[in-house]
Structure 1
């Protein structure tokens, strides 16, 4: 079971790398709990879609690099660098992710990252694009 769950998470990450939102949302359960810590959590697919579709920043590309992955039972842990392209610039965020899987769908997804690091990079990118 762990191997199947690990593959589901890797496929989910690959969907992000393609920005294939149908595959991204298709991997999650309708009652998904998503917490992009330290931000406010999302409860259910409607809130998750609102977060990503009308989120705080728009990006043109993504490249999530998995450095380590571990799976046991219904839980998959990832250590990643999530990169996002905004215009011609890239930001890179170090992330630890926890995915809980039930019946072949992600039911809980928590990502832990440094908000100050993210905000600093966003300020640089937005400042560069405004110049």
Structure 2
């Protein structure tokens, strides 16, 4: 499986709200870092955050605009559309993923947090 295949599988897991699969696609010591917050390090910390999201998310669509690799990293430009606790929103995102041995070792996310929180009704 190529790095792009792993990234596509991760995005598909989010679209299907398949949090177990999304968590499984991270390396045990993987990092999920929304750059305006502290990074989550390790599968257990990432699982905790995704379970919080799962509690309120009714649907998610990651609308991929651009996807490719540069210097061994996967870059994705997308618009995330979602339903969360009775609210609907969308937020443009750029993500950078490092993948090794079929697992995400680092996922950096760049987006406007205020836009995300507004869409979530917060």
What is the TM-score with the length of structure 1 in the denominator?
Answer: 0.83
Cα shift at 1:73: 5.0
More strand by share: 2
Q: How many equivalent residue pairs?
A: 122
Moved more, 82-91 or 106-115: 82-91
CA contact (8 A) 1:74 1:102 kept: no
Task: Tell me how far apart the structure 1 counterparts of residues 10 and 117 of structure 2 sit (CA, whole Å).
Answer: 25
Q: Tell me what 2:5 maps to.
A: 7
Q: Tell me what 2:49 maps to.
A: 51
Task: Tell me how far apart the structure 1 counterparts of residues 75 and 101 of structure 2 sit (CA, whole Å).
Answer: 18
Q: Tell me what 1:32 maps to.
A: 30
CA contact (8 A) 2:85 2:120 kept: no
Q: Tell me what 2:118 maps to.
A: 120
The aligned runs of 1:57-68 (5 Å cut-off) are 58-68=56-66
Unaligned ranges ≥5, structure 2 = none
Task: Tell me how far apart the structure 1 counterparts of residues 21 and 47 of structure 2 sit (CA, whole Å).
Answer: 13
1:85-113 deviations in Å (ceiling 9; x for gaps):
12554211110000001111100001100
Q: Which has the larger radius of gyration?
A: 1
Unaligned ranges ≥5, structure 1 = 127-131
Q: Tell me what 1:74 maps to.
A: 72
Task: Extract structure 1 runs of 4+ deviating beyond 6 A.
Answer: none
- Name the Cα RMSD after superposition: 2.0
